Structure 1
């Protein structure tokens, strides 16, 4: 190969490398947030699962935050995007709100380390849009907008160990909150299908709810009628 051909090949490789980087930047980046809420009664009554109350005692029945997950333009749910030294003390001004809306029922209780884990796993992937404190504030604000427990209660759907149609649960949430939910189910110790998680989406600023750009399939399939167990 001559010098001219070799030089042209080198330039072509460099240009293609920049093109790949540019393409990657176009198709990556934050697109939306998935706010996942869970019913602790359905988490704690699974076979082999043990739950412990937080130090503040048994909370009032409610769907609580399971996670705030960034969703990228390339269709991925990234996690562990950075190894940050998170200053958990900065959460103290609204720690009580987090304990109520985003508690951990693990045994033994891990306290503030739970939120550090959430930031390191998911929050670090949203730093282009939300910093450390805004990430948690966004989760609390979205939880107030997406009052799943209230939406179901207004439709007469309550945690009374009775079965409700999946269609009626989705309809109640959509009518009250204004957006279609993604409902996931698990099974209790007796193998009965029950409501577990409800997911709604927010825009890339984390400020307002939107319809989810993508509904993952093949996970947590529900029966046509599902149990709504009592709170843990």
Structure 2
């Protein structure tokens, strides 16, 4: 039943959203930037960035984020972060989004407290707003072809709703799967716990730490253009991000490290 349209999500506009013409002034389009572009405008490459069929909504586990970095010492876990966080919502098969839609701090000021908890930067030298702005420019502008994501404010609002909908922690708790330094888990038992809500096509990703342990890092949830769970994303081209991890191997148990705010690089020694 989870393949049905998520009840809290938005519907597709009868007409695709097209971004403002870069030749016009910022003042003319200020309301469009903040509240959503409603009218078509002539953008030469609009077909290229509005042709996607699938998105990946990606959640990451802070307890393993440091292990995904070449330099683990660069990471941090803020004290208010104790659960799965958002990595991004990425339209697939898009080579290059239009660079003509800026994002300002005022666009998300009403969401900042929620974003700092549920979509924080986990890099010491990377402020959270910079992380959010990069995600908007690289991916949100392309996602804005959908009416409910047609401004920075709406894009980030939707991401927060998706994260609340896909409550991984609750699903795992019901299945008696909890962070541990001693107990490894099999891919099959984690998939069984998550698939009823996230769909059979979800991706469970691991990283290998410096002790050669497989560590659970991310969950990628494919969504179709109309935001239903599941999409045949394997036919799409290169992923929107360089891979930070790899699919957890079916035959190799992996660890679900606890979050350690004081020693995020070595939560399990």
Cα distance in 2 between the residues matched to 1:183 and 1:39: 11
- Quick one: which of 120, 136, 141 aligns to 2:156? 136
Partner of 1:12: none
- Quick one: which of 24, 28, 51 aligns to 1:29? 51
Partner of 1:155: 175
Offset of 1:114 from its aligned partner?
1.5
- Quick one: which of 51, 62, 79 aligns to 1:40? 62
Determine whether 1:99 maps to 2:116. Answer: yes
Cα distance in 2 between the residues matched to 1:93 and 1:28: 28
> CA 1:230 to 1:79, structure 2 compared with 1: closer, same or farther past 3 Å?
farther
Secondary structure at 2:98's aligned position in 1? coil
TM-score (ref. length: structure 1): 0.76
Any residues of structure 2 matched to 1:9-24 within 5 Å, and which? none
For structure 1, the 5+ residue unaligned runs are 1-23
Cα distance in 2 between the residues matched to 1:86 and 1:40: 26
Cα distance in 2 between the residues matched to 1:81 and 1:152: 39
Cα distance in 1 between the residues matched to 2:87 and 2:126: 16
Aligned pairs, number? 199
Q: Is the 8 A contact 1:184 1:198 kept in 2?
A: yes
Secondary structure at 2:179's aligned position in 1? coil
For structure 2, the 5+ residue unaligned runs are 1-45, 261-269
Partner of 1:231: 259
Larger-gyration structure (1/2): 1
Q: Is the 8 A contact 1:70 1:78 kept in 2?
A: no
Partner of 1:126: 143
Partner of 2:166: 146
Offset of 1:80 from its aligned partner?
4.1
Normalized per residue, the structure richer in strand is 1
- Quick one: which of 72, 77, 96 aligns to 1:49? 72
Partner of 2:189: 168
Determine whether 1:193 maps to 2:214. Answer: yes
Cα distance in 2 between the residues matched to 1:189 and 1:209: 38
TM-score (ref. length: structure 2): 0.66
Larger mean Cα displacement after TM superposition, 114-123 or 212-221: 212-221
Offset of 1:108 from its aligned partner?
2.3
Partner of 1:59: 81
Normalized per residue, the structure richer in helix is 1
Partner of 2:233: 214
Q: Is the 8 A contact 1:163 1:228 kept in 2?
A: yes
Offset of 1:178 from its aligned partner?
5.0
Cα distance in 1 between the residues matched to 2:52 and 2:122: 30
> CA 1:89 to 1:212, structure 2 compared with 1: closer, same or farther past 3 Å?
same
